A and B are shown apart, each in its own frame.
Chain A
Amino acid sequence: MADQEEIRGCIILKDLHYAVGDHTWVQVNDDGTVTVGMTDVAQNMAGSVLHAKVKKVGAVRKKGKPVGTVESSKWVGPVKTPIAGEIIAVNEALQNDPQLINRSPYHKGWIAKLQPSDLDGDLKELLSGDDAVTAYRDKIETEDIMGCKHVEGFEE
Chain B
Amino acid sequence: MSLGFALDLSENKYADVSTKEKERLFEEVKADMRFNDVLYGCYECGICVAACPSARFYDFSPRVIAQACSREDIDLVYTLMNDSIWDCSQCFSCDRCPRGNSPGGLITILREVAVNNGLQTARDALEGYGRIIYKIMSTGTQVSPDMLQADAFPDWGTHVTEISDNLEIWRRALPPETLHTTETSWHVDEKTIIELYLIWHMTGVMDMIKEVDEGLFMILQDVMEERLEDAGYDDVTFD
Contact = CB atoms under 8 A, between A and B. Distances in A.
Interface stretch (A8-16, A73-81, A84-92, A140-148): A73-81
Given A50-B146, A51-B183, A78-B215, A73 B152 contact: yes
B199 interface: no
Nearest to A149: B151
Contacts of A55: 222
Given A47-B152, A51-B183, A74 B218 contact: no
A65 interface: yes
B152 A77 contact: no
A76 B134 contact: yes
Given A47-B152, A51-B183, A66-B222, A73 B216 contact: no
Contacts of A78: 215, 218-219, 222
B40 interface: no
B41 interface: no
Contacts of A71: 131, 134
A112 to B, nearest CB: 13
Contact of A65 (B128, B149, B216, B218): B218
Contacts of B216: 76-77
Chain B interface residue bracket vs A: 10 to 19
B147 interface: yes
Interface string A48-82: 10110001000000000110010111111110100
A49 B237 CA distance: 29
A63 B201 CA distance: 25
Contact of B147 (A69, A73, A151): A73
B130 interface: yes
A74 B149 CA distance: 9
Given A74-B131, A76-B131, A76-B134, A48 B218 contact: no
B153 interface: yes
Interface string B204-237: 0000000000011011001100000000000000
A107 B134 CA distance: 28
Interface string A108-141: 0000000000000000000000000000000000
A74 B219 CA distance: 16
A75 B147 CA distance: 10
* Candidate in A55, A69, A72 with the most chain B CB atoms within 10 angstroms: A69
Nearest to A74: B152
Interface of A: 47-48, 50-51, 55, 65-66, 69, 71-78, 80, 151
